[in-house]
Amino acid sequence: MTSQLFAVCFDATEPMRLAQFWSGLLGGEITDDPHHGVALLPSDDTGFRIRFLPTREQKAGQNRMHFDLTSASLEDQQQTVAKALGLGARHIDIGQRPEEGHVVLADPEGNEFCVIEPGNNFLADCGFIGALACDGSQEVGYFWSKALAWPLVWDQDQETAIRSPQGGLKITWGGPPLMPRTGRDRLRFDLAPAVPTDRQAEVERLLSLGAVCIGTGRDETGEVAMADPDGNEFAVVTPSPSA
């Protein structure tokens, strides 16, 4: 038994505004979310939705995960950057060096993302969303490989990456040093058990892999709030039949 990556969740002070930004940039249909937010349905082979859930908390500090968007050419990269800026993004400085070819931006609520330069061999054939780049240890890369049954496609110098056997994006972890925590994770995973009725069995399996149950989740919705070995929050959900 394994979990499926059902969604990447964004906390948002204006969920619809943020959904419209990412829909404009990535494509995909916006739909109501069962838990008072909105969701962006996948428009390609990523297989997961992006959920935008309401919060009153303003973003503090740098997120521990972000999207890396790919480019087919320098012109394509420039067009993606221009499109993002037109939708409400802005340039930000997170310490990138001038000689680096990627462009670092933030969405309208300050969530970081990168537009990667053309010719990046690591993200070749990964699609427009090339990677979900995460701050995390080698151990947590191993955990998520087992949790999702996605094989390791990189494991070197304490950096790890996994990818679905069906292809699509990579999820990467950059190794130490890890960023300090500044509060609740603003971006999180939602996992769904392969068999919806086996949620408790899946929770127990994830606990055996090194996850813990926590009390900061969305218990009132029936979701089980957990954290991985690095303390990154995620939830085990049972999607509605229409999801």
The CA distance from 78 to 131, in Å, is: 19
Q: Residues 131, 213, 9, 107: is their CA dihedral positive or negative?
A: negative
Q: What residue has token string 């000689």?
A: 99
- Does residue 243 register a pLDDT over 60? no
CB 147 within 8 A of CB 23: no
Please give the model's pTM, rounded to 2 decimal places. 0.93
Q: Where is 139: in which H helix or E strand?
A: helix 138-148
Q: Peptide bond preceding 15: is omega within 30 degrees of 0, i.e. cis? A: no
* pLDDT bucket at 241, cuts 50 / 70 / 90: low
Could you tell me which residues are beta bridge partners of residue 40? 30, 50
Q: Residues 130, 127, 238, 139: is their CA dihedral positive or negative?
A: negative
Better-predicted residue by pLDDT, 181 or 35: 181
- Does residue 221 register a pLDDT over 80? no
Q: Where is 19: in which H helix or E strand?
A: helix 15-26
Structure tokens at 83: 């499109």
- Does residue 31 register a pLDDT over 80? yes
Within 13 Å of residue 132, how many CA atoms lie on the same side as its CB? 22
Structure tokens at 181: 């925590």
DSSP for residue 202:
H
In terms of Cα–Cα distance, which of 53, 69, 61, 45 is closest to 8? 53
